[in-house]
Amino acid sequence: MSEKAGLRSFELIDPPVLSRFTVDRSEPLRLDSARQLECWPKARVLVVDERGRTPMREGAGGEWELVTRPATDFGPAPSPEAALLGEQDGVAYWAVRGRPSLIDGDDPSQWYDLRTMGGKLDATGAGLFTTAVAVLGWQAAGGFCANCGHATERRNAGWATHCPNCGREEYPRTDPAVICLVHDGGTGGSAQVLLARQPVWPPGRYSVLAGFVEAGESLEACVMREIEEEVGIVVSDVRYLGSQAWPFPRSLMIGFSAVGDPSVPLRPAEGEISEAFWITRDELRQGLVDEDWESPGDAGGRVLLPPSISIARSMLDAWAALD
Ligand SMILES: [Zn+2]
């Protein structure tokens, strides 16, 4: 490590876009069916289709908002399939699976998915939609008991299943994955950050390194292991940056920074990483604003940095903004 190395940690500038959540998740209300019924006439319902799309419209200020429906359109009480997302300003928000219906004026072209539009939604919309996609995705995947195979019943306003045969209860599952920005600990425009690409990504896409946490593994150990496996370097100073749900289908991305030594040769893991290279802060700054930025890596060509909806982009933006 160079003598002038002086930056061991930094922070995100803003929360990742899908981590903005303004609604009270209201666990007590999930268990209180009498109050759910009482709140139903004023409640709003977010309809999400099987492809994960929901209706939206552009608001006056340029931010997009969800188009929710009055709960009473869906019957006199919440169905067992509905999932309670939370409460805000005395209004309960629910999510159900559904599809565009031309009968009541829905325009299927105004239905959008979370990956495409999550970053354009206001904070309330982003939080509600992220939670809806996550909980409805879990519901769709888990109709049978993992213990005995019997069909399960929904409980807790969509947030639990119960097996009437063996009594097993299950709750929405999340798979933790670490994502780590590896830098050299340096300061100024010549400080360096590690970018890599996976062979399955579109041509030109580069990002920071990521991987799923294994059973019995700590997050910090996972960061060290993934980086060593993927590019063959040992990192230090593993620091937490922030997290974001990534319900495609059920990940939680947990962001870290770590310090590595650019003088150690990179050994990209065959089949997992097709190319990895260090770039300077000045180069990254250019890449973040210039759409025709040419890759400093071996492959050359135009570079695509991660989209603004990803925590990877929040991490790169924060590191690029450092002095
Ligand atoms: Zn069972």
Rounded Cα distance between 77 and 88, Å, is: 19
What is the 174 CA–ligand 1 centroid distance (Å)? 21
One-character DSSP codes across 149-215 = -PBPEEEGGGTEEE-TTT--EE----EEEEEEEEE-S--STT-EEEEEE-TTSPTTB-B-EEEEPPT
**CA–CA distance, 12 with 255 (Å, rounded to integer):** 10
* Biggest distance spanned by C-alpha atoms of the chain: 69
Predicted pLDDT at 83: 97
Q: How far is the CA of 145 from the centre of ligand 1 (A)?
A: 5
| pLDDT at site 89 | 94
Would you state the pLDDT for residue 298? 60
Residue 6's pLDDT is 74
Give 160 Cα–ligand 1 centroid separation in angstroms: 13
Tell me the C-alpha distance between 156 and 241, whole Å.
Answer: 32
Ligand 1 centre from 153 Cα, in Å?
A: 10
Global pTM value: 0.92
pLDDT at 322: 95
* Ranges of residues in the chain whose predicted pLDDT is under 70: 1-5, 102-105, 295-300
- Ligand 1 center–CA 63 separation, angstroms: 45
How many whole angstroms from 146 Cα to the centroid of ligand 1?
7
Which residues, other chains included, contact 279 with Cβ-Cβ below 8 Å and sequence gap of 6+?
A: 192, 193, 195, 287, 296
pLDDT value, residue 293: 78
User: Which residues on neighbouring strands pair with residue 207, listed in sequence order?
Assistant: 196
Residues in the 5 Å CB sphere of ion ligand 1? 145, 147-148, 150, 163, 165-166, 168
Instruction: Tell me how far the alpha carbon of residue 203 lies from the centroid of ligand 1, in angstroms.
Output: 46
Q: What is the pLDDT of residue 1?
A: 43
Q: Determine if the peptide bond prior to 249 is cis (ω within 30°).
A: yes
DSSP H stretches of helix in the chain: 27-30, 33-39, 114-117, 123-141, 219-231, 281-289, 311-320
pLDDT score of 183: 98
Residues paired with residue 24 on neighbouring β-strands, in sequence order: 87
* 81 touches 97 (CB < 8 A): yes
Q: How far is the CA of 83 from the centre of ligand 1 (A)?
A: 22
Q: How far is the CA of 147 from the centre of ligand 1 (A)?
A: 5
Strands across the sheet containing 153-155: 153-155, 160-162, 169-170
Residue 274: its pLDDT value, please? 92
Give the residue carrying structure tokens 């996972």.
222
3-state secondary structure of 29: helix
pLDDT at 67: 93
Task: Tell me how long the chain is.
Answer: 323
Give residue 152 CA to ligand 1 midpoint distance, Å: 7
Q: What is the pLDDT of residue 297?
A: 63
Neighbours of 187 (CB within 10 A): 14
